[in-house]
Structures are given as structure tokens and as C-alpha cells.
């Protein structure tokens, strides 16, 4: 009897253990987890989002600063990784102006989804639509229909004469913004050309300490090392159309808000945030990188 009782006890313990194992397996399967498709925001929070996928409210549900201007011309919605200085470079503005236009207490603290003004305010609260800049606004500027103007009447052709052909190509800019008399910012060999996808400017070789020159008259709108990937950087604003950028310097010889002249030494070449000594030079037209070789004179 004792043996029989012991057998029944062992059998009961084995059955109980099997039930525990099966229960554990069942609980481990459970319902399939719900995929979190919340828009960009703080982990574990839910935020309202715009059509672009960017949040429109903060973690507490409060509307982000400037969200009422989302999609308007002349405004920019902050994306992950953005800084005020990079936004300024990409929109052709002075970063200090962007700070002032938006009343930012700390330019190093902006939120993803926050909407910033990136064109100057105009008296009366009217903003002049800016030139097309990638990432600035999502709605086209309002256009007005100009009154019809009759076509010019061609002068009569005198018998035996040959009409003078019109020159090919685009007419020169009425504002003269393109006519800056560009010069090369450094004398070294060209080691990398412009590539819209990989290299937003030209890379020019040299030795540490070689002079870096202003490519045209302008004003220093940035001098520092706050843009990742550029090292010690200088940005010059030449007019309402053009900026130039001079990166990887070892020494900066000018300060923000200082006016400089074409050919003036503004920095010394270096290798800050680069794998070798070189000058990375960009020309940005209305904030968009363009091929500097289209503007610089041919080298002998």
C-alpha cells in the first residue's frame, strides 16, 4: 500500500508540473503585440501629427510653437537632427536672425515639429513669399495675375540689311546678384568636385595654415564649429541670393557681423572634422548648394 500511495503521489506531481509548463507556454504566446506607429515624439507618449508625419503637439498635448504657420510659405518645420545653424545655412539666412524672428530663448533647444519663420517679417505682418527653398513650407505662394502687356512691335527691316540676332542663353540678372566677380578661395589642387548627392561643394587641397580667402565681398553670418561635419566653419552672406561656406579650417580670422572684401584672408586651412588638410567650399544660391565651378573663373 505504501508503494501504491507513493506511486500515486509521484503521478500527481508529474501531472501538476506538466500543467505548469503548458500554462507557461500558453502565456508566452499571448496576443500578438500591437505595432507602435506613433509619430515622432518622446518614447511612450502619443502626439498628434501632421501629414508630413511630424508631431504637432508636445508630450503633454500642448501645440508646438509656431504650429499655426505649418505649410505657409516662409516657414520651416523642424525635423530630426536639425539645428538652428543648419536651418540657417539651408535657407540662406543668418542664424541670429532666425533666433530673433522666432523669439528663441535658447537656439540650441528646438523641438521636432516646431515651425520656424525663415524669412524676414514685413511691416504690417505680411511676409513676402521667399524663393523656392527645399523644405521651406509645403504650400505654393499666392500669385497674382499681371495685366496683359501687348508684345513689342518689331522694327521694320530695311532692304539689303540683316537683322541682328539675339544672343543665346538667359538674360543677365536684373538685380546683378550673380555678378559678384568670384575668385577661388584657395590655391591648392582640386581633389573633389561638386556632387549634388555626395559633395555639396568643392574640396581643395593644401597645407595646414594656407590662406583661405573670401570669394567675394560679403558679411560674416557665422563663424564657429557648431555644424557637425564642417569643423571650424565660416559662412559669408554676399547678397539676398548667395552664401558661401568655408569648412575644416584650423583658425578663423574673422567674427560674426564683420564685413569682408573679396580676396581678404578670413581663415587658415586645416583638418578640423576632416580626414586630411583641405578646404571644403560651397556656394549656396537661395539656400540650395550649386556647383561652384559654374561661378568661379577658369584656372590657368
Q: What is the pLDDT of residues 232-263, one digit of tens each?
A: 999 999 999 999 999 999 999 999 999 999 99
* pTM check: above 0.85: no
Instruction: State the first-to-last Cα distance of the chain, in angstroms, to the nearest integer.
Output: 112
| 149-194 residue pLDDT tens | 445 444 444 444 444 443 333 333 444 567 899 999 999 999 999 9
Place of cell 505649418: 70
CATH level 3 topology of 190-294: Glucose Permease (Domain IIA) (2.70.70)
Pick the CATH number of 47-141 from 3.40.50.720, 3.10.350.10, 3.40.50.880, 3.40.140.10: 3.10.350.10
| Distances in whole angstroms, Cα of residue 295 to Cα of each of 22, 167, 176, 264 | 75, 20, 14, 18
What are 215's three cell numbers?
Answer: 570669394
DSSP state of 266: E
Per-residue pLDDT reduced to its tens digit, 23-79? 443 444 333 332 232 333 333 334 566 666 888 888 888 889 999 999 899 999 999
For the chain, the domains span 47-141, 190-294
Amino acid at each position: 500500500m505504501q508503494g501504491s500511495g507513493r506511486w500515486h503521489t509521484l503521478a500527481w506531481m508529474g501531472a501538476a508540473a506538466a500543467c505548469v509548463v503548458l500554462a507557461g507556454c500558453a502565456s508566452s504566446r499571448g496576443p500578438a503585440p500591437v505595432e507602435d506607429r506613433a509619430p515622432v515624439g518622446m518614447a511612450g507618449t502619443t502626439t498628434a501629427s501632421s501629414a508630413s508625419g511630424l508631431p504637432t503637439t508636445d508630450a503633454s498635448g500642448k501645440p508646438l510653437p509656431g504650429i499655426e504657420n505649418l505649410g505657409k510659405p516662409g516657414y520651416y518645420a523642424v525635423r530630426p537632427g536639425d539645428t538652428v545653424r543648419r536651418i540657417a545655412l539651408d535657407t540662406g539666412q543668418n542664424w541670429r536672425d532666425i533666433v530673433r524672428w522666432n523669439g528663441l530663448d535658447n537656439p540650441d533647444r528646438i523641438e521636432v515639429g516646431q515651425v520656424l519663420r525663415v524669412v524676414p517679417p514685413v511691416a504690417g505682418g505680411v511676409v513676402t513669399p521667399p524663393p523656392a527653398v527645399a523644405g521651406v513650407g509645403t504650400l505654393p505662394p499666392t500669385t497674382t495675375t499681371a495685366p496683359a502687356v501687348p508684345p513689342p512691335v518689331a522694327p521694320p527691316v530695311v532692304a539689303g540689311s540683316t537683322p541682328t540676332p539675339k544672343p543665346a542663353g538667359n538674360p543677365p540678372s536684373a538685380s546683378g546678384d550673380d555678378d559678384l566677380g568670384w575668385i577661388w578661395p584657395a590655391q591648392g589642387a582640386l581633389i573633389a568636385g561638386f556632387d549634388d548627392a555626395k559633395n555639396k561643394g568643392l574640396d581643395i587641397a593644401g597645407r595646414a595654415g594656407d590662406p583661405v580667402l573670401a570669394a567675394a565681398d560679403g558679411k560674416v553670418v557665422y563663424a564657429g564649429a557648431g555644424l557637425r561635419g564642417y569643423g571650424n566653419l565660416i559662412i559669408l552672406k554676399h547678397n539676398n541670393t548667395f552664401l558661401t561656406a568655408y569648412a575644416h579650417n584650423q583658425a578663423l580670422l574673422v567674427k560674426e557681423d564683420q564685413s569682408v572684401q573679396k580676396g581678404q584672408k578670413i581663415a587658415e586651412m586645416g583638418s578640423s572634422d576632416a580626414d586630411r588638410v583641405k578646404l571644403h567650399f560651397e556656394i549656396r544660391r537661395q539656400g540650395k548648394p550649386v556647383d561652384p565651378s559654374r561661378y568661379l573663373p577658369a584656372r590657368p
